[in-house]
Amino acid sequence: MSETSYTYSFDARKARTEFFRLMPISLFVLAFGAAFGLAAIQEGLSPLQAILMSTTVFAGASQFAAVDIWGAEVSVLPLIAVVFAINSRHLLMGASLYPMLKTVPPGQRYAMLLVLTDANWAVSAQEYQAGRHNLEVIVGGGLVLWLAWIAGTALGVYFGGLLQNPKTLGLDMVLGCFLLAMALGGKKTPRVLMAWLVAGAASLAAWRWLPPNMHVVAGAIAGGLVGLFWLEPEVRARTAGEGTDDH
């Protein structure tokens, strides 16, 4: 934590490009948001409350789960547990961006994380694997995804009745397909494939036998352990050469 050199030069123009680059995927987020808006209204939230929730929480799966346990009264601890469990993947996503985020001042660093979500993180993490540093997609992409989520929620609460079942169009699979495309677009070394195998198996086991919503974290940490013990050859050579390596 001794690094005080904030070397990342943030390019606002590139952030604007990333805003438009993630616009196609945000159209799907719009549809998903509309489905949430409709569900929220049906569970008894007012339109403004649903829109406020989407604006301040901005985490779709956890919002669906929350309105699912909505009633005349809501138990606070189960609500916290469910929201934390579903969103705990953010902890790992943020941690994985740390090598880049440590090169921007803390104020900007945490401001960027306000709009961290699956899609913009997936793009940034994949580019990082390929050696490109792209925090602009977190900001620009996150902004367009956030706006789409809010606008979609608003559409859903006011015009949700007009929405035909999005499942028949396959729209419920947008995020799954997007994340899969991101994974397969990255490096596929034997080490990565082994990590995927372990992650998939651990996630499946956790999904089957652990309490709900823990499978993402369980799978991701299991996959990470493969990386902890199996270094890329060039990295191993570098570590051996330098002894202690703190860059």
Residue 38 or residue 101: which is nearer to another protein going by CB? 101
Residue 28 or residue 155: which is nearer to another protein going by CB? 28
Among 7, 9, 12, 24, binds another protein (CB under 8 A): 24
| CA separation for the pair 154, 18 (Å, rounded) | 24
Q: Print the binding letters for residues 188-207 with another protein: x by CB under 8 A, - otherwise.
A: ---xx--xx-xxx-xxx--x
180 C-beta neighbours (distance < 10 Å), count: 12
Among 130, 159, 210, 245, binds another protein (CB under 8 A): 245
Among 6, 11, 108, 226, binds another protein (CB under 8 A): 226
Please name the residue that has the structure tokens 């880049």.
100
Least Å from the CB of residue 24 to another protein: 6
Q: The dihedral of CA 118, 121, 122, 125: what is its sign?
A: negative
Least Å from the CB of residue 14 to another protein: 19
| CA separation for the pair 197, 225 (Å, rounded) | 12
End-to-end CA distance of the chain: give it in Å, rounded.
Answer: 11
**How many residues form the binding site for another protein (CB under 8 A)?**
109
Among 132, 168, 190, 211, binds another protein (CB under 8 A): 168
Least Å from the CB of residue 179 to another protein: 5
The interface with another protein within residues 25-54 (CB under 8 A) comprises 25, 44-46, 49, 52-53
How many CA atoms does the CB half-sphere of 30 hold within 13 Å? Answer: 12
Among 130, 162, 181, 210, binds another protein (CB under 8 A): 181
Stated length of the chain: 247
Q: Print the binding letters for residues 108-137 with another protein: x by CB under 8 A, - otherwise.
A: -xx--xx-x-x---x--xx-xx--------
| CA separation for the pair 52, 57 (Å, rounded) | 8
Of 150, 144, 145, 123, nearest to 134 (Cα)? 123
| CA separation for the pair 71, 69 (Å, rounded) | 7
171 near another protein, rule: CB under 8 A = yes
Of 174, 183, 169, nearest to 148 (Cα)? 174
Least Å from the CB of residue 53 to another protein: 5
75 near another protein, rule: CB under 8 A = yes
| CA separation for the pair 139, 163 (Å, rounded) | 30
Which of 12-20, 91-99, 143-151, 152-160 is the region at the interface with another protein (rule: CB under 8 A)? 91-99
